[in-house]
Structure 1
Amino acid sequence: MFPAIFCIAAILVINITHWLYKWWNPDCNGVLPPGSMGWPLLGETLHFFAPNTSSDIPPFVKERIHSNHMMSLVLFFRYGPIFKTSLVGRPVIVSTDADLNYFIFQQEGQLFESWYPSTFVEIFGRQNVGSLHGFMYKYLKNMVLNLFGPESLKKMLPDVEQASNIYLKRWSSQTMTEMKESTSKMIFDLTAKKLISYDVEKSSDNLRKNFKAFIKGLISFPLNIPGTAYHKCLQGRKKAMKMLKSMLQERRERPRKFQSDFFDYVLEELQRQDTILTESIGLDLMFVLLFASHETTSLALTLAMKFLSDHPLVLKELTEEHEAIIKKREIPDSGLTWNEYKSMKFTFQFINETVRLANIVPGIFRKALKDIKFKGHTIPAGWAVMVCPPAVHLNPAKYSNPLDFNPWRWEGVDTNGASRNFMAFGGGMRFCVGTDFTKVQMAIFLHCLVTKYKWQAIKGGDIVRTPGLQFPNGFHISLSEKNAQK
């Protein structure tokens, strides 16, 4: 009996040891980048999601790029700019190398394809635009450009300006305003109106409430147990999708004579005989657009307000640029024109510097379609690759004093599109199609703000990254009109 038990135990030990060896030493037809695969199954997930208050390169990445030890004032690399790890049970190559990042974006559809962890797919939907490839992705991209392209944005300027003025006026009547929540509501209401003609004042259902629950658990540890942030996130998505589906069905039953919003456009596409669009893809697209258009922009605007509060010289130059626009008009109170918007040179420098330091997107994921050799290392087929924008945006070799807020560093630099050293809006063929919409919202809001209002920071403004950007205590200000009677 004892020998049999001993043999079984020995076999188990051998199998477990072999499995552990395979986990820590994955198969590769070449040389894997250096790094650690962490704990079996768990990998280094806990460290990746650990909260930090730094505006610098995330500690998870920084500690793996180099050692903390100094010798003769020389910083010795630990793993270097490309390293391997494991996140949520998946082997991942992390890239902070500008050349590899550029190569990845340029080889979309050839050597790499868009990929996100299964937890993200559960959150955004299996048919979300980020998970689709080839012709289907290009088809959806063109649909979105129909809404967020330059011609549509020109027509949207008055609506964005009106919304900015209405909300700023409302906030000025309050003793204190929390900017993250307030800007999020402003942008969501505007975007939802444009996308699905959703009017929060007339609707009995609170669509944004479900998105708030969704956002809180978006970048959290993926544990789907009641009470966890991730579980609440999935529940928020489920309720939001149910509301969107109900709205779509209502629109089907009561069609409109003329196309007035994005829902109408989606319905027209669904009714075409040769369409490749399905209802589930259309709803997932609507969900992603509603999320992306308000959450990321509100974070950027809140940080922008904080930067303006902390840097009076920046506020002075920004104000002068916008007051000059008004002075050049024949009618000072006339609305912003497209030419005026395009003339906001310093504003675009300010926006670029804000999103460079915001690093709202901590990682951009792709998957290798075949074994790829790069700088002496091999990225195995099927492995995920995470491009790390913060490591690029905060690289002292590319940006002098990278943690300093300095919009003037963009003087003479193209502030449109992406480059090897700037990827706040992605890169390659998947460069964010909503970039211009984001810039329009930010620029017009800033125009209304600095020309008509003054403010004082009251409390909050601290940031936490988990790894996405958050304002745990908000950013509270007191806002008042410049020409208000004292």
Structure 2
Amino acid sequence: MWILMGLCIVAVLVIYVFHWIIILTDPKFRNRSSLPPGSMGFPFIGETLQFMIPSYSLDIHPFITKRIQRFGSIFRTSLFGQPIVISTDSEFNSYLMQQEGKLVELWAGPATKIFRQSDGFRIPFSNIHKYIRSITLNHIGAECIREKLISQFEEMFIKTLHQWSTQTSIDVKQSITKMNFRFFAKHYFGYDIENLSSNFERISEELFTDFTERLKTIPLNIPGTNYHKCLKEWRKAFKIIKNILEERRNSPEKYRGDFLDQAINDMEKDKIMNDDQIVYLVLGIWFANSASISSMAQLIFKFLSEYPSVVEELRVMNETLRFSILLPGILRKTLKDIHFKEYIIPANWIILAFTPNLHMNSEIYEDPLTFNPWRWKELDSFTVSKNFKPFGGGLTQCPGAELSRAFIATFLHVLVTKYRWTKIKGGKVVRNPILEFSDRIHIKIWENREKT
């Protein structure tokens, strides 16, 4: 036993020594005085463990607030094996958004590796986002929402909420995810739920429900780790969608003019992406819709249960979005050294433009930890545009922003005009650092016959 312990200690020391040899010989660390202040933490894992410690509050995660107090609004750290600069400086963050494609490019964190499981994108990842935004807006943009999706949403919600009212209780996250899954399976690649195998529904629902949780881990593709399980589930869903794509291409008579058809046509015309990348695109956008909408829905039920007077006015949307940021900020990778004030951020570093601090700024939002939908009556449009960014910013603002708003707004309309509900259990929030629920919300819902 003592020999084994000794070997472990030696191994740790060797790793530690080599870690610092790499750091000290890396040119971007030679002039450390020009880097933003901060700590790189332990070898390899950096400060990841501190970053992931749960905080049971709606407020900004203590990892961020403690380092702001110690180092200022821009500081460096190391997360998930990656050197990173975190900025809560609004001037610097606005500057970054203006430098898209010049000094910085989009970076998707550990998810980038999942979306690059094929032979690699044929164009840079920052440029692929421009195509993703374009094709997405064609199918879930404002025009499509207004002309087609609003009426389809309302029809779906009427049917779904009636089904919910026949159950003893429902798990909000699971039920919203299932509803979202079924609708967009049809919208994105033309499959009615009756045509989907139960195996596909099970895999995809489990994937969408647990994916975010499993992705928030150190990206080690080793059997038994959450990241490995995440990749495994993703590949199962990938295989099924790939079969659908091949079937569509081999059967032109099945053309529907949907998202998948446009992606196939664009691939054959412009050679933008290959088959694998189209599948990852469909899954990625599909998942992003599900994750954001289920997060918002849970918060809405939490707040409406705690503030029933709001139901009468329903000034809920912006106030819920102020809390329900799915990601802790906007991630960018530096293409060149960035000079800002007295700091130099080296090329190939990651920058997290931290946005939740905007939404918790007491100078803008009085008593920011209080749910107060009426506050939006007093805020002018200029203040809101500068300090309210629930869907990111710059050229890469989430193209599904309007879809999420329309989905939730229509859902709320049907819910409050035709139904009543009560919270059965759940609703305790946790930041680690994304705002989530440590116990899912369950509600009992029934028809409001007085209003119908």
TM-score (norm 2): 0.88
1:106 is matched with 98
Partner letter of residue 39 of structure 1?
Answer: F
Which stretch has the larger CA shift, 379-388 or 476-485? Answer: 476-485
CA deviations on 1:367-402 (whole Å, 9 max, x unpaired) are 122222223222122211011122221122332111
Query: Displacement of 1:413 after TM fit?
Result: 4.6
Q: Structure 2 matches for 1:133-212, cutoff 5 A?
A: 133-134=126-127, 136-154=128-146, 155-204=148-197, 205-206=200-201, 207-212=204-209
Distance in structure 1 (CA, Å) of the matches to 2:258 and 2:43: 49
CA deviations on 1:46-92 (whole Å, 9 max, x unpaired) are 111222222111111111111xxxxxxxxxxx111110101122111
Q: Does 1:220 align with 2:229?
A: no
Partner letter of residue 414 of structure 2?
Answer: C
Asked whether the 8 Å contact 1:104–1:112 carries over to 2, the reply is: yes
Q: Does 1:466 align with 2:432?
A: yes
Structure 1 residues 212 and 233, CA gap change in structure 2 (3 angstroms): same
CA deviations on 1:402-450 (whole Å, 9 max, x unpaired) are 1111122222657799844222101000011111111110000000000
TM-score (norm 1): 0.82
1:249 to 224, 246, 250: 246
Distance in structure 1 (CA, Å) of the matches to 2:94 and 2:122: 21
Distance in structure 2 (CA, Å) of the matches to 1:38 and 1:425: 30
Query: Displacement of 1:484 after TM fit?
Result: 7.0
Distance in structure 2 (CA, Å) of the matches to 1:222 and 1:158: 41
1:355 is matched with 321
1:270 is matched with 267
Asked whether the 8 Å contact 1:38–1:86 carries over to 2, the reply is: yes
2:234 is matched with 237
Distance in structure 1 (CA, Å) of the matches to 2:21 and 2:175: 51
Query: Displacement of 1:201 after TM fit?
Result: 3.3
Distance in structure 1 (CA, Å) of the matches to 2:383 and 2:149: 21
Partner letter of residue 286 of structure 2?
Answer: L
Distance in structure 2 (CA, Å) of the matches to 1:214 and 1:316: 35
Partner letter of residue 103 of structure 1?
Answer: Y
2:41 to 17, 38, 41: 38
Asked whether the 8 Å contact 2:248–2:254 carries over to 1, the reply is: no
Unpaired stretches in structure 1, ≥5 consecutive residues: 1-11, 67-77, 319-345
CA deviations on 1:460-479 (whole Å, 9 max, x unpaired) are 11122332233232101111
Query: Displacement of 1:131 after TM fit?
Result: 6.9
Query: Displacement of 1:275 after TM fit?
Result: 3.7
Structure 1 residues 54 and 241, CA gap change in structure 2 (3 angstroms): same
Distance in structure 1 (CA, Å) of the matches to 2:299 and 2:16: 54
Structure 1 residues 306 and 186, CA gap change in structure 2 (3 angstroms): same
Q: Does 1:298 align with 2:294?
A: yes
Distance in structure 1 (CA, Å) of the matches to 2:15 and 2:154: 68
Distance in structure 1 (CA, Å) of the matches to 2:123 and 2:401: 16
Structure 1 residues 99 and 130, CA gap change in structure 2 (3 angstroms): farther
CA deviations on 1:105-156 (whole Å, 9 max, x unpaired) are 1111111111133x3222333568997223x432332111111122211211
Q: Structure 2 matches for 1:62-101, cutoff 5 A?
A: 62-66=65-69, 78-101=70-93
Distance in structure 1 (CA, Å) of the matches to 2:122 and 2:414: 33
Distance in structure 2 (CA, Å) of the matches to 1:434 and 1:238: 24
Q: Does 1:380 align with 2:371?
A: no
Alignment: residue pair count: 430
Structure 1 residues 34 and 389, CA gap change in structure 2 (3 angstroms): same
Structure 1 residues 257 and 179, CA gap change in structure 2 (3 angstroms): closer
User: 3-state SS of the aligned residue for 2:392?
Assistant: coil
Structure 1 residues 216 and 40, CA gap change in structure 2 (3 angstroms): closer
Which stretch has the larger CA shift, 249-258 or 440-449? Answer: 249-258
Which stretch has the larger CA shift, 406-415 or 150-159? Answer: 406-415
Unpaired stretches in structure 2, ≥5 consecutive residues: 1-13
Distance in structure 2 (CA, Å) of the matches to 1:279 and 1:416: 43
Which stretch has the larger CA shift, 220-229 or 12-21? Answer: 12-21
Asked whether the 8 Å contact 1:93–1:384 carries over to 2, the reply is: yes
CA deviations on 1:149-193 (whole Å, 9 max, x unpaired) are 222112111111111111111111111111111111111211121
Query: Displacement of 1:17 after TM fit?
Result: 9.4
Structure 1 residues 416 and 187, CA gap change in structure 2 (3 angstroms): farther
Asked whether the 8 Å contact 1:452–1:482 carries over to 2, the reply is: yes
Structure 1 residues 44 and 195, CA gap change in structure 2 (3 angstroms): same
1:425 to 373, 385, 391: 391
User: 3-state SS of the aligned residue for 1:477?
Assistant: strand
Which stretch has the larger CA shift, 192-201 or 170-179? Answer: 192-201
2:58 to 34, 40, 55: 55
1:115 is matched with 107
1:124 is matched with 115
Larger radius of gyration: 1
Larger % of helix: which? 2
**Kindly, what percent of the aligned residue pairs are identical?**
40
2:332 is matched with 366
User: 3-state SS of the aligned residue for 1:133?
Assistant: helix
